[in-house]
Amino acid sequence: MSKRLFVSIAPLALVSCATVPAETAPPTDVGTVASADPRAAEAGMEMLRQGGSATDAAIATMLALTVVEPQSSGIGGGGFMLRGLPDGSVESFDGRETAPAAAGADWFLDTEGKAKSYRDVVLTGLSVGVPGNVALAKLAHDKYGKLPWAALFAPAIRLADEGFVMNPRLNGSLEGNIDRAGADPLMRATFYTEAGDPRPVGTRILRPELAASLRAIAAQGPEAMYGAEPAAELAATVAAATPLAAGMTPSDVSSYRARERAPVCGIYRSYRICGMGPPSSGGIAVLAMLGQLERFDLAALGPRNPQFWHLFLESQKLAYADRELYTGDSDFVSVPVEGLVAPDYLARRSALIDPERAQSYEAGVPEGAPQARADGDEPIENGTTHFVVTDSAGTMISYTSTIEGGFGSGLQFGGYYLNNELTDFSFSPAKDGVPVANRVEGGKRPRSSMAPTLVWDPAGRPFLMIGAAGGSTIPVQVARSIIGVIDFGMSLDDALALPLAMDFGRTVVVEQGSWLEAQIGALEALGHQNVRPASPPFRAVGAIRTPDGWRGRHDPRLDGILDPSQKGA
């Protein structure tokens, strides 16, 4: 069974958002946090009120999300964090999971050398990468933390110790998902009744084992995760679930390092846009889509014009053809980052677009292009969350955190879910005899789509922080939101509410139930094929700077499924 099919039959985890409730989060002197869960946003706000930096608040938010949004992210997974300043400087931190040293070309192959199915590997140790979020947090905190390390853990520990209220979103994610979310006896007992039903909305959920892990990491630092003893225990847990002779080893865990990476930046209509570079494809894809659209007067077309959606779909296809061929972990493969986002290259790519007719595109040949093959894998996952923070100094943080699929691998260690991030690798190491950039290699990071993004306005002032969950749809969601704000002059609320159309290769998905559905005929008339309505997990979170200060906003698709009574629970 293909990965996509498996995902589409799994219950929608309804990732992401609920921010600081959009209308009740007035700008404050201390800053703003917008996240997928108001309780996690409140954890970040608590740090800001204590005089913490945006980095402190982001880490506290990530930790609290581990507790209250276990379907989407956590310390058993990884993430990317962008940090930008009002002066335009920007840095990025990479806490992406790594493959065990033993992993190689045959990691996802069966005895006949054929790629196994996603379903066969996802709930095993084969899918688990060494978690990176705690190492990322330490790297960032050492540089930019103001509060003591242990203070960042207090809200998450409190939520895990005292419990938090089951909300409709978590309840919905658990529904019909006991094989994954309840695969481990501890998690089953935590989230399900004895009869195997998700604990009802409103139930207080306690997570004492997770509280103990958080307490240990608060007291001892990352040593409590990557030190000899916990590393051996974590590796043994994963190895025991790995159907190969060699699995994760203690040194895989203890040798994990978060990295600082060069962000990828570009200019779109005089706005400066910075995103995450390799091992993510997110920043490159966002800049490519925007750069290829710059020659068109999108503002004149407007969002309700099928011509705009046609151009957007064409730009997606161009960007994703390059993404599949060239992007991967740049520690292992050569990724021509600068070439892929160079304005003259994007202008050449854009020139291929026929405003009157849909086409298919091969990858281009940017400056520095190596020889490689595309793998064509297009996952839509739902184990990810995005959040943004700004502090009183105007620091901007855009952080996407993930365990890959909803509830990750279903494996549990220390009271938290372990990721299934390694399924973001290409399962086949080569295509037509040529290695694919995103093949499995020991110690390598799988390619990501995550796109934490920061935008400065034409005057160079901080303007927008944005990101999303939703696997391969993430860059498209981010580009759509930026176009909404910059080209269509929309409020962030309206930009996030815009429907989406995405080209998935064999099909073009138009968001079900949206007004865009009425344009399917017009898109077909422009040559788009297999256009069908569907509801992929489109979920973006962001904040925009207004004359009255920063405003955190979430995707309105979550309205109505968040229980306001959970706030501060």
Catalytic sites, residue numbers: 384
d(CA 477, CA 286): 9
Q: What angle do CA 521, 527, 532 make, to 5 degrees?
A: 50
Comparing CB distances to ligand GLU, the nearer of 404 and 511 is: 404
Least Å from the CB of residue 41 to ligand GLU: 19
Comparing CB distances to ligand GLU, the nearer of 364 and 446 is: 446
Structure tokens that stand for 312 in this block: 């957007």
Least Å from the CB of residue 180 to ligand GLU: 14
Comparing CB distances to ligand GLU, the nearer of 84 and 475 is: 475
Q: 242: which residues sit within 8 A by CB, 6+ positions away?
A: 124, 125, 126, 248
299, 303, 520 from 306: Cα distances, Å: 13, 8, 9
Least Å from the CB of residue 36 to ligand GLU: 11
Q: 37: which residues sit within 8 A by CB, 6+ positions away?
A: 18, 64, 65, 68, 69, 167, 385
Least Å from the CB of residue 475 to ligand GLU: 9
Query: What residues make contact with ligand GLU under the rule CB under 6 A?
Result: 15, 381-384, 402, 404, 421, 424, 448-450, 469-471, 474
Asked if 449 contacts 474 with a C-beta cutoff of 8 angstroms, the reply is yes
Count of CB atoms situated within 10 Å of the CB of 242: 22
Q: Where are the alpha helices (DSSP H) in 278-403?
A: 282-293, 298-301, 306-326, 337-341, 343-350
d(CA 337, CA 83): 20
Least Å from the CB of residue 94 to ligand GLU: 12
Comparing CB distances to ligand GLU, the nearer of 467 and 499 is: 467
Beta strands (DSSP E) in 126-237 are 164-165, 204-205
Pairing of strands 508-511, 531-534: parallel
Least Å from the CB of residue 276 to ligand GLU: 10
Backbone angles phi, psi at 524, to 5 degrees: -65, -40
Least Å from the CB of residue 92 to ligand GLU: 14
Structure tokens that stand for 410 in this block: 């279903």
Structure tokens that stand for 186 in this block: 């501890």
Pairing of strands 78-84, 396-404: antiparallel
d(CA 95, CA 399): 11
Q: 42: which residues sit within 8 A by CB, 6+ positions away?
A: 20, 33, 64, 155, 567, 568
Comparing CB distances to ligand GLU, the nearer of 412 and 448 is: 448
Give the relative orientation of helices 154-162 and 208-220 as an angle to the nearest 10 degrees: 160
Q: What angle do CA 169, 474, 380 make, to 5 degrees?
A: 65
Least Å from the CB of residue 213 to ligand GLU: 22
Comparing CB distances to ligand GLU, the nearer of 37 and 404 is: 404
Comparing CB distances to ligand GLU, the nearer of 52 and 470 is: 470
